[in-house]
């Protein structure tokens, strides 16, 4: 039984997802959280990870540690995205099992699903057809993690779960315009263009693809829900059930930032998957659902960006 003083290890506790989970658990009375910086433990190293588990003996592991990046980073470095993520998750899963952890929550991504999945995407569509090539390495790594947790549930009867969030955004995201995901990259581009006399902004692709976006605080609440309940299956989609075109997202972010220039589209750059809307009915039937509206979430994320990420003078967000 998990209690408020159970030893809970949050791998990747300094990242966007891990820090949101950490803060939420603390706010809900969990008092024995374990976190280690990359300088303290290299999760890609078997010996270091094995020693940590043997000495600290966590009862719960929340795996929010991963090598992540946008389309170009995944496209240019597929080997690193495959191997580094497999090393991290394999070590965590193996030594959690070896040290009799009672619960393991594995966090992945909706990119595990086929490129041309029927919409909305059900958990059962996993491995039904070809993946999106631009992030195949990362997706394959996460699929192996999902399957490892599934096999452990089946073979050893452990309470292991895999939560697959849709596109995430929020405080502590990566806002680098070249290596980040689409939403934080747009925030950076529109802000920088605004600061440069509202110069035009060029965005990748056609703007036609549709995406679903989830605030990281809603994901943290899904993790808390999984922690406090014994979910009957391994794999659950975590999303809003709502989608928006990339072009409409650009217009929304442009309005929030207050950029007055033009938006140009570079159709020679890849669009990625045409649509990627998750079917979240399994999780909502159990009692969890997303609460943060996209526009509200982007406003608060942009304010965080101004106040924290770049140490810029605070400005009033357009309403």
Question: In the structure, what pLDDT confidence band is assigned to residue 313 with cuts at 50, 70 and 90?
Answer: very low
Q: Model's pTM, two decimal places? A: 0.94
**pLDDT digit string, tens, across residues 145-204:** 999 999 999 999 999 999 999 999 999 998 887 777 899 999 999 999 999 999 999 999
Query: 141 and 79 in contact (C-beta within 8 Å)?
Result: no
107 carries a ligand binding annotation: yes
Task: Tell whether the model's pLDDT for residue 273 goes beyond 90.
Answer: no
12 carries a ligand binding annotation: yes
Pick the more confident residue, 270 or 129.
Answer: 129
Query: 80 and 139 in contact (C-beta within 8 Å)?
Result: no
Please check whether the domain covering 8-309 is classified as CATH 3.40.50.720. yes
29 carries a ligand binding annotation: no
What is the DSSP annotation of 60-113?
EEEE-------HHHHHH-HHHHHHHHHHHHHHHHHHHHHTT-SEEEEE--GGGS
Task: Tell whether the model's pLDDT for residue 37 goes beyond 80.
Answer: yes
Question: In the structure, what pLDDT confidence band is assigned to residue 310 with cuts at 50, 70 and 90?
Answer: low
265 carries a ligand binding annotation: no
102 carries a ligand binding annotation: no
Average pLDDT for the chain: 94
pLDDT value, residue 206: 96
85 carries a ligand binding annotation: no
Task: Tell whether the model's pLDDT for residue 312 goes beyond 60.
Answer: no
pLDDT value, residue 109: 94
| 305 tagged catalytic | no
Query: 296 and 302 in contact (C-beta within 8 Å)?
Result: no
Active-site option among 9, 113, 138, 236: 138
- CA–CA separation, 242 and 253 (whole Å): 17
Task: Tell whether the model's pLDDT for residue 319 goes beyond 50.
Answer: no
């Amino acid at each position: 039984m998990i209690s408020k003083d159970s030893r809970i290890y949050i791998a990747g506790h300094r990242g966007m997802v891990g820090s949101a989970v950490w803060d939420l658990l603390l706010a809900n009375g969990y008092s024995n959280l374990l976190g280690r910086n990359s300088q303290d433990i290299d999760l890609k190293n078997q010996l270091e990870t094995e020693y940590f588990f043997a000495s600290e003996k966590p009862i719960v592991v929340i795996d929010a540690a991963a090598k992540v990046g946008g389309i170009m980073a995944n496209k240019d470095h597929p080997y690193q995205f495959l191997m580094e993520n497999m090393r991290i998750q394999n070590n965590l899963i193996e030594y959690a099992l070896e040290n009799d952890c009672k619960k393991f929550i594995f966090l992945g991504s909706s990119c595990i699903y086929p490129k041309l999945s029927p919409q909305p995407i059900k958990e059962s569509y996993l491995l039904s057809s070809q993946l999106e090539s631009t992030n195949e390495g990362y997706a394959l790594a996460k699929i192996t993690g999902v399957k490892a947790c599934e096999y452990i549930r089946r073979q050893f009867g452990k309470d292991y779960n895999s939560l697959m969030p849709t596109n995430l955004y929020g405080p502590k995201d990566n806002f680098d315009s070249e290596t980040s995901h689409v939403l934080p990259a747009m925030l950076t581009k529109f802000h920088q263009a605004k600061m440069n006399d509202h110069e035009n902004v060029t965005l990748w692709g056609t703007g036609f693809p549709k995406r679903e976006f989830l605030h990281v605080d809603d994901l943290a609440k899904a993790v808390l829900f999984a922690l406090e309940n014994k979910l009957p299956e391994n794999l659950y989609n975590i999303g809003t059930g709502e989608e928006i075109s990339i072009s409409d997202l650009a217009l929304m972010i442009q309005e929030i930032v207050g950029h007055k220039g033009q938006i140009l589209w570079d159709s020679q750059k890849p669009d990625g998957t045409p649509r990627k809307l998750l079917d979240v009915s399994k999780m909502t039937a159990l009692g969890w659902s997303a609460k943060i509206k996209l526009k509200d979430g982007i406003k608060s994320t942009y304010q965080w960006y101004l106040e924290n990420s770049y140490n810029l003078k605070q400005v009033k967000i357009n309403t």
